[in-house]
């Protein structure tokens, strides 16, 4: 019963913030030591002040949470109909970042857009492919051709062409 009372958003956030701030203070000690041979205001001073400030405010949150009692449920609802899409967005984006340089911008981005539209049942395959190609083409023209943003061509093509 007492544990259940602790399941309050403010208490959970407060404890997490205190742990984070203690880590900040610990890290700050290390770079304070690295700068100790120089004269001047320590680079650890400002982060330490901020961390102490967060600890004080986190204590306020915890006290507030103790007064309120239990109000927290798990943040992520695994039974939500779109939970798989949300997890797919996170995982797909991480995968996109990993394969971007290997497969190249055009192929990776077109595949990402196509799969995402199909998964969200936004359009049928052919229409989704047309939307994906048009979008990626427009992005390529604006960012690469007009704004000179260098997009990766893809190492796979260099390997296939034997360059």
- The number of beta carbons lying within 10 Å of the beta carbon of residue 132 is 21
Count of residues engaged in binding other proteins, rule: CB under 8 A: 66
Cβ neighbour number for residue 61 with a 10 Å cutoff: 19
76 part of the interface to other proteins, by CB under 8 A: yes
Task: State which of residues 19, 97, 130, 159 lies at the interface with other proteins (CB under 8 A).
Answer: 97
Q: Of 5, 93, 137, 155, which one interacts with other proteins (CB under 8 A)? A: 93
Distance CA 130, CA 31 (A): 53
Q: Any idea which residue has 């990776």 for tokens?
A: 108
Interaction of residue 107 with other proteins, rule CB under 8 A: no
Per-position x/- string for 112-151, each x denoting binding to other proteins as judged by CB under 8 A, each - no binding: xx--xx--xxxx-------x---xx--x--xx---xxxxx
Query: Radius of gyration of the chain from Cα atoms?
Result: 25
Q: State the nearest-atom distance from the C-beta of 85 to other proteins, in Å.
A: 5
In this complex, which beta carbon is closest to other proteins, that of residue 4 or of residue 29?
Answer: 29
Taking phi first (over 0 means left), then psi (-120 to 50 degrees means alpha), and beta for anything else, what does residue 73 get? beta
């Amino acid at each position: 019963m007492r544990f259940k009372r602790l399941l309050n958003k403010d208490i959970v956030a407060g404890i997490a913030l205190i742990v984070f701030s203690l880590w900040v203070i610990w890290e700050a000690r290390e770079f304070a030591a690295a700068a100790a041979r120089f004269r001047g205001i320590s680079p650890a001073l400002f982060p330490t002040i901020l961390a102490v400030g967060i600890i004080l405010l986190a204590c306020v949150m915890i006290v507030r949470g103790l007064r309120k009692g239990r109000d927290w449920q798990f943040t992520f609802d695994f039974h939500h109909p779109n939970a798989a899409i949300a997890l797919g967005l996170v995982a797909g984006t991480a995968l996109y970042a990993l394969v971007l340089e290997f497969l190249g911008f055009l192929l990776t981005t077109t595949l990402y857009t196509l799969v995402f539209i199909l998964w969200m049942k936004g359009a049928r395959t052919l229409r989704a492919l047309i939307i994906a190609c048009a979008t990626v083409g427009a992005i390529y023209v604006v960012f690469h051709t007009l704004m000179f943003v260098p997009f990766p061509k893809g190492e796979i093509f260099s390997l296939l062409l034997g360059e």
